[in-house]
Amino acid sequence: MMKQVNIQFPLRMLALLFGLFLSVGAFAQIDVKGHVKDATGEPIIGATVRVDGTQTATVTDFDGNFVLKANQDANITVTYIGYQPQTVKAAPTVEVIQHKNEEKTGTEKNKKEKIETAQLATQLTIVFAKTNNWDPLVPRGKSFIHLLYRRLQPFLFLPC
């Protein structure tokens, strides 16, 4: 008579070990060390370095260096005020060069919008003045601040 061998325990153990190795490989993270500088080669201090799709982020130090943990295939985005955001793939060492935004704050389009807004505000003031017999250039009585001050004076202990 042959003896039966119970192979269920070794198979279960093998399946458990296989699943353990798969999960470790799926969550493998690397230390990403990098340097952020501008187009002239100067380090950018205080740039935000963020792993896309996670809450992991850090800020560059005085020399523009950073260190964070990320998945091997993750995207890393570097942002800084006045510079275009840069996205790179995670690797053990990363070098990011930030380029300044081309858009200026005082462009002709912005100036034109400001002028149009000021003209519209002036037109609305004139319409309001004509419909209510009110001239904004002629002061009427005391100002709101003066009236508020008079109302609160007993509580302020200040001379009027």
Q: Judging by DSSP bridges, how do beta strands 57-59 and 29-38 pair with one another?
A: unpaired
The pLDDT assigned to 80 comes to 93
| CATH number assigned to the domain covering 29-98 | 2.60.40.1120
Q: Is the pTM of this model over 0.85?
A: no
Tokens of 40: 């002239």
**CB contact set of 32 (below 8 Å; sequence gap of 6+):** 66, 67, 68, 69, 70, 76, 90, 91, 92, 93, 94
The residues spanned by each domain of the chain are 29-98, 108-156
Strand partners, 89: 75
Residue 102: which pLDDT band, with cuts at 50, 70 and 90?
confident
Using the predicted structure, report yes or no on whether residue 35 has a pLDDT greater than 80. Answer: yes
| pLDDT, tens only, 124-142 | 555 555 555 554 444 555 5
The pLDDT assigned to 125 comes to 59
